[in-house]
């Protein structure tokens, strides 16, 4: 059987032996894996710095919440606000693959600038990632992972024994268990996955600050209501995205001409296939009415009832 306490101690001993007095940096997103990684390094007592890149594509209040969580747990975090740079780089680009490339490449630049001359790098690679990057080079997620995990500098550091991957033998459930054992809040451990390119893949076509703000407001309402009703835990991933098509409606006693939002909630085992969730009608009704009342820029709410395949979970 898997004894988390013994395993944690083994990981900590290994980390200490490898790191010694050196400084270790790790990229964090606020997600489960990178958070557990950073807290584990901190608990091992090594000199760790977490780097969080805000590419301007995060959800409402997300950056502030991640920063506050790390501060509360006592883990040093450096927040790099690169939102202007990302939005400028994305300006006018509507092609999904080009958007991903722009974001992936800029992320690497910004991240490595922040790493500076740190002596060691830790990554939250899990056991399934190890298998996946060996067998499945074509999925969107693995393309991005290829970006992050295999840039030349990492290869070089790997050769020199300067890359730590302490979670590489663990499955997601075991990572959660480890996180809970170290006192990480349950709502962080239960967080839905969030894609590396952030809201850009939920904003089909051109990305603008205005569009992102609309998505943030819709998504915040949807997720809050899912949490409130207990459906957040019963879904694997959920979000509100933008459909950048303006349609005619009536708001107050005026004609409106605004965008639509799509609500998506899915269950999945491994993200390779997914099914949409049959959310209760009263919940959908409440979310819809809140969005239509509270979010300016939206006059239509749609529920995405597409399975994967043939649809994907994200819209790009």
34 is in an annotated binding site: yes
Which among 79, 74, 84 is positioned nearest to 30, based on CA atoms? Answer: 79
> Of the listed pieces 139-147, 219-227, 255-263, 299-307, which binds ligand XMP according to CB under 6 A?
139-147
Which of the stretches 33-41, 58-66, 190-198, 278-286 binds ligand XMP when contact is defined by CB under 6 A?
190-198
- Residue 107, classified by CB atoms within 10 Å of its CB into exposed (0-12), middle (13-18) or buried (19+), is buried
Give me the least distance between CB of 62 and ligand XMP, in Å please: 15
74 is in an annotated binding site: no
Report how far residue 130's alpha carbon sits from residue 134's, in angstroms, rounded to the nearest whole number: 7
Q: How big is the site for ligand XMP, counted in residues (CB under 6 A)?
A: 14
Residue among 197, 198, 204, 241 that touches ligand XMP (CB under 6 A): 197
Binding window for ligand XMP (CB under 6 A); candidates: 75-83, 124-132, 140-148, 286-294 = 140-148
141 binds ligand XMP (CB under 6 A): yes
Q: Which among 7-15, 191-199, 227-235, 283-291 is the span making contact with ligand XMP, rule CB under 6 A?
A: 191-199
- Report phi then psi at 264, rounded to 5: -130, 130
Nearest distance, CB of residue 315 and ligand XMP, angstroms? 8
Using CB under 6 A as the binding rule, the residues of this chain from 280 to 309 that contact ligand XMP are 308
Distant-in-sequence, close-in-space partners of 309: CB < 8 Å, separation ≥ 6: 273
265 touches ligand XMP by CB under 6 A: no
Q: Which residues contact 184 (CB under 8 A, 6 or more apart)?
A: 35, 36, 39, 73
- Under the criterion CB under 6 A, does residue 211 sit at the interface with ligand XMP? no
- Least Å distance between CB 237 and ligand XMP? 5
* Cβ burial 224-254 (10 Å sphere, 16+ → b, else e): ebbeeeebbeebbbbbbbbbbeeeeeeeeee
Dihedral pair phi/psi, residue 66, rounded to 5°: -60, -45
- Other beta carbons less than 10 A from residue 143's beta carbon: 15
Nearer to ligand XMP, 112 or 194 (CB): 194
Q: Is 33 annotated as a binding residue?
A: yes
Looking at residues 142 to 161 of the shown chain, list those that interact with ligand XMP (rule: CB under 6 A): 144
Q: How far, in Å, CA of 158 to CA of 199, rounded?
A: 31
Is 235 labelled a binding residue?
no
Beta strands in the chain (DSSP E): 23-27, 47-54, 77-81, 120-122, 163-164, 237-251, 254-268, 274-276, 298-303
Least separation in angstroms between CB 262 and ligand XMP: 13
Tell whether residue 108 is a contact of ligand XMP (CB under 6 A): no
One residue of 18, 49, 59, 140 binding ligand XMP per CB under 6 A: 140
Consult the annotation and say whether 29 binds a ligand: yes
Residue 193 binding ligand XMP, by CB under 6 A: yes
Distance CA 69, CA 165 (A): 23
**Contact with ligand XMP (CB under 6 A): which of 196, 198, 204, 241?**
196
142 is in an annotated binding site: no
Q: Say if CB 212 and CB 230 are below 8 A apart.
A: no
The answer to whether residue 195 forms part of the interface with ligand XMP (CB under 6 A) is: yes
Please check whether residue 239 is in contact with residue 223, taking contact to mean a CB–CB distance below 8 angstroms.
yes
Annotated binding site for ATP: 29-35
Binding site for ligand XMP (CB under 6 A): 140-141, 144, 193, 195-197, 201, 237, 271, 308, 312-314
């Amino acid at each position: 059987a898997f004894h988390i306490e013994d395993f944690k101690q083994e990981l900590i001993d290994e980390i200490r032996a490898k790191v010694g007095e050196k400084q270790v940096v790790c990229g964090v997103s606020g997600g489960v894996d990178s958070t557990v990684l950073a807290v584990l390094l901190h608990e091992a007592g090594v000199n760790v710095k977490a780097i969080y890149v805000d590419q301007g594509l995060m959800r409402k209040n997300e950056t502030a919440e991640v920063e506050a969580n790390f501060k509360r747990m006592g883990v040093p975090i450096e927040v790099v606000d690169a939102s202007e740079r990302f939005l400028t780089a994305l300006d006018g680009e509507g092609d999904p693959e080009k958007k991903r490339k722009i974001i992936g490449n800029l992320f690497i630049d910004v991240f490595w600038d922040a790493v500076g001359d740190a002596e060691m790098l830790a990554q939250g690679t899990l056991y399934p990632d190890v298998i996946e990057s060996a067998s499945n080079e074509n999925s969107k997620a693995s393309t991005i992972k290829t970006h992050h995990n295999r840039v030349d500098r990492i290869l070089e550091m790997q050769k020199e024994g300067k890359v730590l991957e302490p979670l590489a033998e663990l499955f997601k459930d075991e990572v959660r268990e480890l996180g809970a054992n170290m006192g990480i809040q349950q709502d962080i451990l239960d967080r839905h996955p969030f894609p590396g390119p952030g809201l850009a893949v939920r904003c089909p076509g051109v990305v603008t600050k205005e569009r992102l703000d609309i998505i943030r407001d819709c998504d915040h309402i949807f997720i809050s209501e899912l949490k409130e009703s207990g459906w957040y835990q019963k879904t694997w991933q959920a979000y509100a995205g933008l459909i950048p098509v303006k349609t005619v409606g009536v708001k107050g006693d005026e004609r409106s001409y605004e965008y639509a939002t799509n609500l998506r909630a899915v269950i999945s085992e491994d993200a390779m296939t997914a099914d949409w969730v049959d959310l209760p009608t009263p919940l959908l009704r409440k979310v819809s009415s809140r969005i239509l009342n509270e979010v300016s820029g939206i006059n239509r709410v749609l529920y995405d009832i597409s399975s994967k395949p043939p649809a994907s979970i994200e819209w790009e």
